[in-house]
Amino acid sequence: MIIKIEYLEVRYGRNPPVLSIDNLSIERGERVAIIGPSGAGKSTLLRTIKGYMRPSQGKVEVMGVNLATARRRERQPINRRIGVIYQQFNLIPRLSVARNVLCGRLGLTSRWRSLLGIFSAEDHAIAWSAICEVGLSKKAHQRADTLSGGEQQRVAVARALAQQPTIILADEPVSSVDPAWAEDILELILEVQTHHQATLVMSLHQPDLARRFADRIIGLRDGRVVFDAAPASVTDTRLKELYRGHDSLPLNDNATRSGKDQTRSA
Amino acid sequence: MPPAPGRIKRAALKYTIIGSLAVMLIWCWIGTEMGSFDLVGSGPRIADFLDRMFPPDLTWTSSQNRPFAPPLRIALTTVAITLQISLLGTAIGFVLAIVLGFLAAENLTPHWVHHPLKIALALLRSIPVILLALLFVTAVGLGAVPGVLAIGVHSVGMLGKLFAEEVEGADGGVWEAMDSAGANWLQKVRYAIWPQVAAQIYSLTLFRLEMNIRESAVLGLVGVAGLGLWIENYRRAFDYPSVATLVIVTMMVVLVVEQLSIYIRRKLK
């Protein structure tokens, strides 16, 4: 059990909890997609697993460490092994692809040398193989802000890989990518996940993509798990129930294109 | 078309502002006694003054009957010292402003660090350079050192504030990504902030240097070494052609530096 959540409650200040999960376990190597209407707590769940949100109650155990009670020193090594892929890529625009990927090594390399911009031969080797893996070897020395949105997300995937992650968290990884490239990116993420034997937890805006790319889907609504099932048993009726009362159900790609998460060109 | 709502209120506000501006300017006019200034009457005096400055003294050899060396020789050494004062002062200001400015940025430090620092920077830049120079001349004596210190202190206050604002404008997503990779605070500053703000920080510093060169030319009036001191020396000796030479030299130095700075800052973008 790589992630184990028990009687978790997360709240901001005195407001009612944004997340309230009694029991949720994720096994090593699983591919989990979290879906649900906006405001359901998808990002909060990912941030709690990453350790950015302190649970106000309950237990979040990641790789055997309870994040709610662990000290900073115990959390750091866990933090380094969790690679995150963001909706907005969060690359350093003025630096090259290679430099951006090398930044994934910051927690694992010599602190002082990295401040001078020096990375070890091992760091370079790991970064280079990550760049090759995402298919950007020809653009390694190009500035990150000259790449297309899809390519930028590939760089972000490579940066996460440079961390040699045990867990990969992806927060709406394709919501800012041209819909035509969304599937490529998801395929790439699955590919590297398999190759590195990592556990993948991603939040997705489109249930359709979740059904195709995950082997387990968790439906969140108002911070609670509505269903937790294999893709085959996530029927349209269950999805309608999940998204009840919210903006149009983003069932297929066409619905997505006209939806609010329309591609923001990078 | 129906009349825009609130138009009367807005018009009232507009005329109130214009009215108070006019009152203020009248107050200034009376206070400075501009009314009693006789432009026509002072015409001959101004003409006489300009006439005595002309032609600028361009001689190279010294002679027995004048108190100081000829201005072109003086210019050679004083331009150098003026540049040295401003370069060194700006460099000191830059280094301290990097440290203090980054610590004064709201997104990098807790409020008990950045609040007092912001106030300290505001206090530093609230004192005009020439006043600082006057204080330092009193404290450490005449020469170039009080100039370097005055320009350094003022630049810290100015650059520190501008650097902090740059840092606060940086995209926070990269910060989170670096944190997620396990970077510590210094690594995050180095990789999540610095690449985003570096070009603008260099550009702001260059602009400050340009202003500091102008400032340091004036500091001679309070006893700091440099161009200003010699303009003052010649003026006291009623050697107006030499004053004219040094004024022209000052203008040329400032113009050249300004053009250089514009050129480099354009390249930085």
The Cα of A27 is separated from the nearest Cα of chain B by a number of Å equal to: 22
DSSP B191: I
Q: For chain B, how big is the Rg over CA atoms in Å?
A: 25
Does any CB of chain B come closer than 8 Å to the CB of residue A72? no
Task: Report yes or no: A106 at the B interface, CB cutoff 8 Å.
Answer: yes
CA distance B228 to A64: 72
- Return the residue matching tokens 């959390």: A75
Find the residue in B nearest to A49 (Cα): B180
Contact with chain A for residue B268, Cβ under 8 A? no
pLDDT per residue as tens, chain B (269 positions): 888 888 889 999 999 999 999 999 999 999 998 888 777 778 888 888 888 888 888 887 777 777 778 888 888 889 999 999 999 999 999 999 999 999 999 999 999 999 999 999 999 999 999 999 999 999 998 889 999 999 999 999 999 999 999 999 999 999 999 999 999 999 999 999 999 999 999 999 999 999 999 888 889 888 888 888 998 888 888 888 888 999 999 999 999 999 999 999 898 87
Domain that holds residue A108: 3-258
Residue A263 located in a structural domain? no
Q: What pLDDT is attached to residue A262?
A: 40
Q: A26 CA to chain B: closest CA distance, Å?
A: 21
Q: How far apart are CA B105 and CA B193, in angstroms?
A: 11
Is the pLDDT at A256 greater than 50? The verdict is: no
The complex scores an ipTM of: 0.86
The span from the CA of A78 to the CA of A97, in Å, is: 26
Q: Which residues pair with A168 in a beta bridge?
A: A83, A200
The confidence score (pLDDT) of residue B15 equals: 95
Q: Where does chain B have alpha helices with state H?
A: 7-31, 39-53, 71-103, 111-126, 129-140, 145-168, 172-180, 185-188, 194-218, 227-236, 240-268
Instruction: List alpha helices for A38-178, DSSP H.
Output: 42-50, 72-80, 97-102, 111-115, 121-133, 149-162
Helix, coil or strand: residue A17: coil
Task: Report the alpha-carbon distance of residue B59 to residue B76 in Å, rounded.
Answer: 13
φ, ψ of residue A21 in degrees (nearest 5): -125, 125
Domain-embedded: residue A123: yes
> What pLDDT, on a 0 to 100 scale, did the predictor assign at position A254?
43
Say how far apart CA A183 and CA B211 lie, in whole Å. 55
DSSP H or E stretch at residue A256: helix A253-258
Selecting from A50, A108, A114 the residue whose C-beta is nearest the C-beta of B180 gives A50
**CATH assignment at residue A245:** 3.40.50.300
pLDDT tens digits along A130-166: 999 999 999 999 999 999 999 999 999 999 999 999 9
End-to-end CA separation in angstroms for chain A: 38
Q: Which CATH class is domain B71-268?
A: mainly alpha
The C-alpha atoms of residue A42 and residue A219 are separated, in whole angstroms, by 9
Q: How many domains does chain A have?
A: 1
A238 occurs within a structural domain: yes
| C-alpha dihedral, B259 to B260 to B264 to B265, nearest 10° | -40
CA B61 to chain centre: 35
Closest-CA distance of chain A to residue B136, Å:
37
The verdict on A95 touching B (C-beta cutoff 8 Å) is yes
**Given an 8 Å threshold on Cβ–Cβ distance, is B177 in contact with A111?**
no
Pick from A62, A82, A79: nearest CA to A168: A82
For chain B, the straight-line distance linking the first and the last C-alpha, in angstroms and rounded, comes to 47
Computed on alpha carbons and rounded to an integer, the radius of gyration of chain A in Å comes to 18
**Alpha helices, H only, A164-234:** 179-196, 207-213
In the three-class reduction of DSSP (H, G, I as helix; E, B as strand; rest coil), residue A34 is classed as strand
For the stretch A38-88, pLDDT in tens is: 888 999 999 999 988 888 889 899 999 988 788 888 888 898 999 999 999
Of B171, B191, B195, the CB nearest to A106: B191
Nearest Cα residue to B156 out of B90, B201, B84, B105: B90
CB spacing of A94 vs B176 below 8 angstroms: no
Percent of chain A at pLDDT > 70 equals 92
What is d(CA A157, CA A154) in angstroms, rounded to the nearest whole number? 5
How far apart (Å, rounded) are the C-alpha atoms in residues B188 and A103?
A: 10
Q: B241: which 2 tokens?
A: 């052609």
> Is pLDDT above 70 for A249?
no
Retrieve residue A192's tokens.
């590297």
Q: Is B90 exposed, middle or buried (0-12, 13-18, 19+ CB in 10 A)?
A: buried
| C-alpha span between A68 and A54 (Å, rounded) | 6
pLDDT computed for residue B155 by the predictor: 96
Buried-state track A230-244, b at ≥16 Cβ within 10 A, e below 16: ebeebeeebbeebbe
β-strands A82-85, A31-35 pairing: unpaired
Partner residue facing A107 (CB), from B182, B186, B190: B182
Q: Assign A125 a pLDDT band (cuts: 50, 70, 90).
A: very high
Spatial CA neighbour of B52 closest among B245, B238, B235, B240: B240
Q: Which residues of chain B form CATH 1.10.3720.10?
A: 71-268
Q: What is the pLDDT of residue A253?
A: 45
Specify the pLDDT at position A73.
Answer: 86
Across the interface, whether the CB atoms of A103 and B186 are under 8 A apart is answered: no
Q: Which of residues 178-197 of B touch A (CB under 8 A)?
A: 178, 180-184, 186-187, 190-192, 195-196
Closest CA to A108 of B187, B189, B192: B187
What pLDDT does residue A248 have? Answer: 57
The SS3 of residue B54 is coil
CA distances from A39 to A34, A36, A202, A223, B151 (A): 13, 8, 16, 8, 53
As a whole number of angstroms, the distance between CA B183 and CA B77 comes to 50
CA triplet A110, A113, A117: central angle to 5 degrees? Answer: 120
